[in-house]
Amino acid sequence: MFVDKTVKDFISILSSKEPVPGGGGAAALAGAIGNALGSMVGNLTVGKEKYKDVEPEVIEILNKAKELQENLLSLIDEDAQVFSEVAKAYKLPKNTEEERKQKEEALKNALKNACQVPIKIMENSLEALKLQRRLAEIGSKLAISDVGVGALLLKAAVLSGKLNVVINLNGIDDEEFVRKISEYIERICKEAENLADEAYKIVLEKLKG
Q: Are residues 192 and 132 in contact, defined by beta-carbon separation less than 8 angstroms? A: no
How far apart are the C-alpha atoms of 84 and 98, rounded to whole Å? 23
Read off the pLDDT of residues 15-71 as tens digits, 9 standing for 90 and up: 999 988 999 999 999 999 999 999 999 999 999 999 999 999 999 999 999 999 999
Q: Of 14, 172, 161, 10, which is closest to residue 86 (Cα–Cα)?
A: 172
Phi/psi region, residue 139 (left: phi>0; alpha: psi -120 to 50; beta: rest), is beta
Read off the pLDDT of residues 142-188 as tens digits, 9 standing for 90 and up: 999 999 999 999 999 999 999 999 999 999 999 999 999 999 999 99
Structural domains of the chain, with CATH: 2-208 (1.20.120.680)
Q: Is the pLDDT of residue 209 over 90?
A: no
Give the mean model confidence (pLDDT) for residues 110-115: 96
Q: Are residues 162 and 185 in contact, defined by beta-carbon separation less than 8 angstroms? A: yes
